[in-house]
Amino acid sequence: IRAPAMRTLQRFQSNNRSRLGAAGAYLGAAAEHSSRAPSVRSLAEAGHHLHDQRDGGYNGHGALLTQQSGGFDDIDLPSAVKYLIASDPNLQVLGAAYLQHKCYSDGNAKKQARSLQAMPKLVKLFNSPNQEVQRHATGAMRNLIYDNAENKLALVEENGIYELMRTLREPDDELRKNVTGILWNLSSSDNLKDRLARDTLEQLTDLVLVPLSGLGGSGVIQQNPSEAEIFYNSTGFLRNLSSASQQTRQKMRECHGLVDSMIHYVNSSLEVGKSEDKSVENAVCVLRNLSYRLYDEMPPSALQRLEGHRRNHSSTMTGELVGCFSPQSKKAREHYMSADIVTFTEVSKDPKGMEWLWNPQIVGIYNRLLQRCELNKHTTEAASGALQNITAGDRRWAGVLSRLALEQERILNPVLDRVRTADHHQLRSLTGLIRNLSRHARNKDEMSTKVVSHLVEKLPGGAGDKSPPADVIVNIIAVLNNLVVESPMAARDIVYFDGLRKLFYIKKRRDSSDNEKSSRAAASLLGNMWQYTKLHRDFKM
C-alpha cells in the first residue's frame, strides 16, 4: 500500500506574501492539498485525483515567472537543486517547489534529482528555521520517493528518518501531513520496514496515534481535516509495517499505546456511526496482521495462562469427553462451558496493549464491524480475517473464542450474510473463519441447519457454473466435513440442497493442481457421508 504522490505546491503564508510584496512576485493561488485516491490497496493511479492550479512562481530576483504547461520558466533541475543550498530562504522555497512539481510523475526527473544530490540537500532543509522551506522540502521529498525504491533508500541513508521524526514534533499540520505521507510511502518497501519500525514506532505513537485517536485526552475523537489526514497517513504506515516480519509484528505489539490507540479509534468510530472511515479500515487491517500467528508469537507467560487449564490435564477436554459422553450431550456441553468460564477469569477485564488481541472483548468489536460496515469491503474482510486468526489452530484459547463468537456474540448470521458476496478476498477470510468455528462448535447439529445451505450454494456443479477460488472451495468442504463427522443432519442437508451432485463434480475435476486439492477434499467428505447408511440410496442415484 502506497500513500499517493502529492503534486500540489503549498500556499505561501500571508506574512510571506507581504515580505515578498516589495519584490512584486510570489507563488499566488497555488493549489491546496487535494483529494486522495479512493483505495489504499493500489494508489499508483492516484494522479488523476489531484489537480494543479498554479498561476505564478517566484524566481528570487523580483520577476514574476510566466507559468507554462511544462513547469517554471527560466529554471531547470540543476538550478533548482542549487537553490536548495542558497542562503536566501526564498530561493530554497523556489528550488524545493520546482522539484516537487517536476518530480510529481516524471521518473527521469526523480533519477536526475538524485544524481544531482538533491536528497541530502532536501533532508537538511527538513528542520530549517523557515516554515515554508520545511513545507516545500518535505513536499518535494514526498514526490521524489513516490514509487521510486532508489530514492527511498537514499533518503534513509541520509539519516532522513531521524530528521523526519524531529520534524514531526513541529506544531504545523501541513508539515505533519507531509512527514506522515513520506513515512507511508517509505513503508511500501519491504526492505525498509524493519528499520522504520525500529526508528519510528514509539515517537509516532506518542506524537500522533495516542492524541489523535482520542486515547490520550477526553476519550473522544476530535480531529480537524488536517489531523484526520495525518492520522490516516499514520495508520496506512502501520498497516504496511504490520505485514512485515515476525520481529516487526512483535515490536508493534509491544509498543506502548499502539494497539490501545487502534482499538480506541475503532471503538469510538463505531459508537458515532463511522464504521466506513478509511482510518478504521487501516486500523482493523493492523489488528488483523498483528493477530497473525498470535498464539505462536505471544509471550510464553501469557500463553501459559490461556492454555493452563488444558496443560494441567493428561489429555484434552475433547479426548476426555468422547470416552464418556457424546460431544453433543448436555453433560459434555456443561463440562465445556464450565471450563470456558474458568479460563475467562484468567483474562483481564481491562486489557492493555497486546492483551487486546486475544481478549474476549475483541470478538465483539469485530462482530459489530461485520454488522455495521456496509460499504467498505476491506474493513469487513480485515475483521473476518482477524477473527480467523484468533480462532485458528488447536490451541485451547482458539476454541474458547470460537465458542464465544458462536454462542454469546451470535456471529454466524452476520458472517453468513457476507458469504453472499462474489468478492474472492472476502470469501477467503469468511470461509476460513467458518471453517475454524465449525471445528470448535459445541452443537454441530445447530450449526449445520444454519450454514449448509449457504455454503453448498457457493459450490460449482458444472462446467458453466461460476466457481470461487480453489482455496474457498476447500474451506467450504472442510466446514461441511467438520459438521458431517458429528452430525447426521449435516449430511442430510447436503443431500437436500443438491450438494451431493456438486461434490461428485468437484471430485472428478482434476485438471489442475488447485482442482486436485479440492477434488481430494470432496472425496474425503463423500467418504464420511457414506458412513450414514440411510444416504446410500442417494449416492447410488
**How do residues 105-164 score in pLDDT, each as one tens digit?**
899 999 999 999 999 999 999 999 999 999 999 999 999 999 999 999 999 999 999 999
Q: What pLDDT shows up at residue 379? A: 96
Residue 127 corresponds to which cell in the numbers above? 528542520
What pLDDT, in 10s, does the model give residues 303-312?
999 987 554 4
Q: What pLDDT shows up at residue 53? A: 25
Q: Residue 121: phi, psi to the nearest 5?
A: -65, -40
Q: What pLDDT shows up at residue 377? A: 94
Question: Which of helix, strand or coil describes residue 72?
Answer: strand
pTM more than 0.85:
no
Q: Cell numbers 467438520 label which residue? A: 482
DSSP 535: G
Q: Which of 25-29, 209-213, 394-398, 478-482 has the lowest mean pLDDT?
A: 25-29
d(CA 324, CA 355): 36
Question: Which of helix, strand or coil describes residue 485?
Answer: coil
d(CA 200, CA 207): 10
Cβ atoms 135, 178 nearer than 8 A: yes
More confident residue, 2 or 68: 2
Q: Residue 68: phi, psi to the nearest 5?
A: -115, 170
Question: Which of helix, strand or coil describes residue 71?
Answer: strand
The residues with which 58 forms a beta bridge, in sequence order, are 64
Residue 426 corresponds to which cell in the numbers above? 472476502
What's the CATH architecture for 74-188? Alpha Horseshoe (1.25)
Q: Which residues contact 390 (CB under 8 A, 6 or more apart)?
A: 291, 294, 357, 358, 362, 363, 398, 401
Neighbours of 269 (CB within 10 A): 21
What pLDDT, in 10s, does the model give residues 339-396?
565 556 667 788 999 999 999 999 999 999 999 999 999 999 999 999 999 999 999 9
Q: Which residues contact 181 (CB under 8 A, 6 or more apart)?
A: 3, 6, 142, 233
Residues 201-307+331-409: name the CATH superfamily. Leucine-rich Repeat Variant (1.25.10.10)
Mean pLDDT (whole number) for 165-185? 96
DSSP 406: I
Band of the pLDDT at 332, cuts 50, 70, 90?
A: low
Mean pLDDT (whole number) for 523-536? 91
Band of the pLDDT at 333, cuts 50, 70, 90?
A: low
Sequential DSSP letters for 10-70: PPPPHHHHHHHHTTT---TTPPPP-PPPS-SS--TTGGGG-------EE-SSS-EEPEETT
Average pLDDT for the chain: 83
Cβ atoms 148, 182 nearer than 8 A: no
Residue 284 corresponds to which cell in the numbers above? 482493523
Q: What pLDDT shows up at residue 534? A: 85
Same CATH topology for 74-188 and 201-307+331-409: the answer is yes
Closest CA to 181 of 364, 60, 8: 8
Dihedral angle of Cα 235, 182, 178, 139, to the nearest 10 degrees: -160
Domain positions in the chain are: 74-188, 201-307+331-409, 443-540
d(CA 146, CA 3): 8
Closest CA to 184 of 228, 138, 221, 146: 146
Alpha carbon of 242 to those of 193, 245, 290, 370: distances in Å?
9, 8, 6, 22
